[in-house]
Amino acid sequence: MTALAQAVDDALLGAPVELRTPAVRPSLAEARAWCKRLAESHYENFHVATGLLPKRMRVHFQAIYAYCRVADDLGDEVGNSVLATQLLTSWRAMLDEFYERTEESRHPVFVALAETVRVCGIPKEPFADLLVAFQQDQTKVRYATWDDLMDYSRYSANPVGRLVLHVAGERDERAMLLSDKICTALQLANFWQDVSSDWDRGRVYLPQDAMQRHGVTEQDLAERRATQAYRDLLKELVERTRAMFAEGRAITWLVGRDLRPTLGLFVAGGEAILDSIEGMNYATAEQRPHLGKGTKLRLLARAAWGKVTTWV
């Protein structure tokens, strides 16, 4: 083991036990099984949508999902921003070493990713960009403007869409830019949905200048008050986010048939969150809107039907 790998292993001793590097490098099959278990333990759009993909793509999506999930957990689940920063720095060192000396990597995520990166030709940048956002989350908990949120999403959300396109063999820059719109819109939809839970974690993603313009205060958030001013603010933000989804939809005309249903499900899921927020009259300061089981099933069925019809 290199000195860097040993230092990284030492740092990761502070991580949850399931995220630590094993003593023995797993086989590719073992690493992929580890990633698959992690993916299947979380019910999220990123995982559900992979069921619509050809089987040959799924192992690659599971490896990418595992990388994202572990990095996110290192940032959010250790309960200490100083430790989280150290762990994310170590994870970045593991990523750097992975791209320099793949054979040195022992963590199952990187063992599985080795084949994914080789087959799909994925550069380091989107993986590294995600870590920039997770590191930023440890110190930055307010965003002054909409543009600041766009900049954050460039690191926190857009890399995921670009990784998806790489796995599908899509390299068109127009598709990449439309994917950025979809991923940023998904990020924003989640922010507008999670205002109260984000507040409980000490974070506010509502643009500060928009809050001031509408007369919404942090005391309103603390007291779970969905005032008329708050509802007007959320209505404005939801409408801007809808426009981003509408622009991003054009990507379905640029990508191959294998990917269209999955991207359609991402967009439909995000728009359904906005519909849910609108349906509760934008009162997300009071409670978090939820997609009902029936809505989720309809979205999945519609995406699955889209998969069938692309082959007709």
Query: Side chain identity at 11, as an amino acid letter?
Result: A
Residues 259 and 286 in one domain: yes
Residue 52's pLDDT is what? 66
Residue 203's pLDDT is what? 94
Residues 152 and 217 in one domain: yes
Domain containing 90 equals: 1-139
Residues 253 and 192 in one domain: yes
pTM of the shown model: 0.85
Residues 312 and 164 in one domain: yes
Residues 172 and 257 in one domain: yes
Handedness of CA 67, 273, 243, 195 (dihedral sign): negative
Handedness of CA 54, 72, 97, 158 (dihedral sign): positive
Residues 85 and 224 in one domain: no
Residues 181 and 130 in one domain: no
Structure tokens at 233: 């603010």
245 close to 269: Cβ distance less than 8 angstroms: no
Question: Across the 312 residues of the chain, what is the mean pLDDT of every consecutive 10-residue run?
Answer: 53 57 86 89 57 80 91 82 89 92 87 95 96 94 97 95 93 94 95 95 96 98 97 98 95 86 84 94 92 51 42 35
Q: At what angle do helices 3-11 and 81-100 cross, to 10 degrees?
A: 150
**Which of 94, 109, 139 represents a domain boundary (last residue)?**
139
Domain count within the chain: 2
Residues 180 and 253 in one domain: yes
Residue 13's pLDDT is what? 56
Task: Tell me the CATH number at 150.
Answer: 1.10.600.10
Residues 123 and 174 in one domain: no
What is the rounded CA–CA span in Å between residue 44 and residue 63?
15
Residues 100 and 186 in one domain: no
Residues 153 and 297 in one domain: yes
Query: Side chain identity at 187, as an amino acid letter?
Result: Q
**Which of 95, 110, 139 represents a domain boundary (last residue)?**
139
Q: Running DSSP on this structure, what letter comes out for residue 106?
A: -
Residue 3's pLDDT is what? 53
**Which of 123, 139, 155 represents a domain boundary (last residue)?**
139
Structure tokens at 241: 């986010």
Residues 251 and 296 in one domain: yes
21 close to 106: Cβ distance less than 8 angstroms: yes
Whole-angstrom Cα Rg for the chain: 20
